[in-house]
Amino acid sequence: MEVKPSKSRSISIIKGQLTNERFHINNEPIPTVLEKPIKSLGHWYSAELKDSKQVDQLRQDTISGLNQINNTALPGKLKLWCFQFGLLPRLMWPISIYEVALSHANRLERLVNAQVRKWLGLPRCLSSVGLYGNGALSLPISSVVEEYKCAKSRLEMTLTESQDPFVRGAAPTLATGRKWNPSAAVAVAKTALRHRDIVGHVQYGRGGLGLEETTPTWQKATATERRHVVVEEVRHQEEAARCAKAVSQAQQGRWMRWEGVERRKITWNEIWSMESNRLSFIIRATYDVLPSPTNLHLWYGEDPACLQCTAPATLKHILVGWKTSLTQGRYTWRHNQVLKCLAAELENKRVVTNAMPLNAQATFPCKTTFIREGEKRRTKPSPPDLGPLNAARDWEMRVDLSQRLIFPPEIAATSLRPDLVLWSMSCHRVFIVELTVPWEDPIDEAFERKRLRYTNLAAEAEARGWNVKV
């Protein structure tokens, strides 16, 4: 058997640094991975020895795959089937072999969720619990995060419980970020399975003893069965986390308080024979996101024109609110109204600040106050609290409302469109404001997502000498 140098790759590392030393076979040089990366079992090996580029490529593949499915002339349920049995299996192997953190998996799921809601005709306010939960209504759709955790747990079991002692002894620590650890999840699953053996078989429902499907006990299960039951236990943990999230939701989690309701599991056969509008209605009615008069009053209040106004709403404003809620189903329209109020308040402070001398305080009229006996009267008015705006008197502001916001090119060149930009050329200070109006979703996730969106922009502006606050 002859080793072909052209189909091999070499790498030389001395004291942690890559070197250009070459290796030869029969006086024929072996190409280095720096020159020609090599692919083995779907894994690309390059000179970086990191998976950051492959993770970015995975995101691009996900976006391109979703766009290809979305651009077809198929109905929404067929597009969903193409994702479930076409795109998702192709993504699971790179997710398993590369060092993909849980935060990257969450970003991939957010991309998928946006398309799934679009294909099913669901509003954007519907939580992921309604798409992947097994509560009152169960859909045959797999969650990317859940499949990610199952794949990492399966790989952890395969390496740590291998029959080969060398593989078992050299099992690497899977890098999945700081939010979730597969070894800890597998340990919790094993503990739960051992506790289940101690408790014994428990019958659920009104069926007789022995009618439910029995699972093998942990002590008597084979290596393959143990790996399978551990993965199923990880799925149970993810479902428990979804139930905990549903409890915290005041409107979409009302099904948690229903009693005597038979849970419905929709299969693919039912989806084929069901109209798209009917499927969308069932999901929205279960999680109470239909644009009913009650929900419209809850989403937009009595005056959708301005959240701080006390005047009665006009018929035109109400009709506009109904129309936008029917098409968007989220706080997008209300987001603009909140941003208008915020921009107007900040504009007043900006005008007052620019009109004041730099080292002087403007005089403001005193309010009529009543003092008690023995108290001293306040003679000087308190200056307004302008905060960081006192540092300069040439503040400029742009808001992404009536026209497309163009980020100031003197600060940085970018295509991002924050909601509000406030900057001063004299003190080289800029504030980037992004407004979030979530609905029954954790504010922390939205904050982290939007903070990471402007990280590169802030770094580029700071490199140009600006003091940036996001």
Condensed to tens digits (0 to 9), the pLDDT of residues 404-429 reads 888 998 999 888 889 899 999 888 99
Residue 321 to residue 301: CA distance in whole angstroms: 10
Do the Cβ atoms of 112 and 83 come closer than 8 Å? yes
Residue 30 to residue 169: CA distance in whole angstroms: 31
> 267 in helix, strand or coil?
coil
> 118 in helix, strand or coil?
helix
DSSP 356: S
Condensed to tens digits (0 to 9), the pLDDT of residues 281-299 reads 999 999 988 887 777 776 6
Neighbours of 456 (CB within 10 A): 12
Residue 242's pLDDT is what? 92
pTM: predicted TM-score of the whole model, two decimal places: 0.68
> 131 in helix, strand or coil?
helix
Written as six digits, the tokens of 269 are 């056969």
DSSP 134: B
Written as six digits, the tokens of 135 are 């509560």
Checking if the pLDDT of 372 tops 80, the result is: no
Q: Report residue 186's pLDDT band, with 50, 70 and 90 as the boundaries.
A: very high
Residue 363's pLDDT is what? 42
Residue 339 to residue 400: CA distance in whole angstroms: 9
The mean of the pLDDT values for the chain is 81
Angle at which helices 293-300 and 332-355 cross, to 10°: 20
CB-neighbour burial class of residue 251 (10 A; exposed 0-12, middle 13-18, buried 19+): middle
Q: DSSP for 193-215? A: HHHHHHH-----SSSPTT-SPP-
| Mean pLDDT for the stretch of residues 119-148 | 90
Could you give phi then psi for residue 319, rounded to 5 degrees? Answer: -65, -40
Written as six digits, the tokens of 57 are 């490529």
